[in-house]
Amino acid sequence: MTEQKRIEMMKIIEQRCIEFGDFTLASGAKSNYYYNIKNILLDGNVMSLLGDLILDELTKFEPTPKSLGGLESSAIALASAVSLRSYNKHKQTDGVKGFFVRKNVKTHGSQRRIEGNLVPPIIIIDDVITKGGSIMEAMNAINAQGHTVKGVICVIDREAQENQLKKNGINYTSLFTHSDFEKYIRKNILIGKLVRNLAS
C-alpha cells in the first residue's frame, strides 16, 4: 500500500509541482527547474496522502517521535497533515503533535519564536532540501529552547553537494530524491529547447 501511495505521489509532483524556467532557489543557487511543493499544500486529498507517507517515514526513527515541525510556511501545512493523519490512525492514543518556527518573532502577542506542540523526541519537516539552510535555522531555534532534534524528514532531497545536513552528520531521510524525477526533468527541458528552436 505504501509503494502504491508513493507512486501516486510521484505522479502528482510531476504534474503539479515541477516547474521549468529560470529560478533562484532559497539557497541562492540558480536552476532551470523548481520543485514547488506549495502548489499542493492546501489540497486536502493530496495532503492526506502526503501525511500518510510522512507517518510511515517516522517509523524509521527510534524512539518514536512525539512532534514534528519546522520553519514556516511549508512546515505548517506538512505538520498539520501528519498530526491529523496520526490522530485518525491512533484515535485514543497519543499521536504526533505539530509545531512551527517563525522566521521572525512578532512584536505583539506572545512573541514566541516557536508555536504549537514541541514535544521530544522532535523531528524537523521541510518540503525541499537543497543546502538545508531553513532546516538548520529551525534546528538552532529548537536548540535554543533546550531541546535536541532527533532527525529530519523532507519531501524531496535535491541531492546537492552543499547539503549542510550531511556535512554536520544530521540524521535525515526523504520521501523522494532528485534522482526519482531526473529522467522526467531532463525530458521536459529537452522538449522545451526543441520547441524554442522551432519557434525561432
Q: Give the mean pLDDT of the chain.
A: 89
Tell me if 95 sits within 8 A of 83, measured CB to CB.
yes
Q: Give residue 90's pLDDT.
A: 64
Q: Would you say residue 106 has pLDDT above 80?
A: no
Q: Would you say residue 92 has pLDDT above 70?
A: no
Q: HEC string of the chain?
A: CHHHHHHHHHHHHHHHCEEEEEEECCCCCEEEEEECHHHHCCCHHHHHHHHHHHHHHHCCCCCCCCEEEEECCHHHHHHHHHHHHHHHHHCCCCCCEEEEECCCCCCCCCCCCEEECCCCCEEEEEEEECCCHHHHHHHHHHHHCCCCEEEEEEEEECCCCCCHHHHCCCCEEEEEEHHHHHHHHHHHHHHHHHHHHHHC
> pLDDT exceeding 70 applies to what percent of the chain?
94
Domain positions in the chain? 2-199
CATH of segment(s) 2-199:
3.40.50.2020
Q: Give residue 161's pLDDT.
A: 85
Say which residues have a Cβ less than 8 Å from residue 189's Cβ, sequence separation at least 6. 20, 32, 33
Q: Give residue 88's pLDDT.
A: 77
Q: Give residue 200's pLDDT.
A: 64
Q: Give residue 93's pLDDT.
A: 63
Mean pLDDT of 134-142: 94
Mean pLDDT of 148-166: 92
Q: Give residue 1's pLDDT.
A: 55
Q: Give residue 166's pLDDT.
A: 87
Q: Would you say residue 17 has pLDDT above 70?
A: yes
Q: Would you say residue 160 has pLDDT above 90?
A: no
pTM for this model (two decimals): 0.89
Q: Give residue 91's pLDDT.
A: 64
Q: Give residue 28's pLDDT.
A: 80
Q: Are strands 97-101 and 114-116 parallel, antiparallel or unpaired?
A: antiparallel
Mean pLDDT of 92-110: 81
Q: Are strands 97-101 and 67-71 parallel, antiparallel or unpaired?
A: parallel
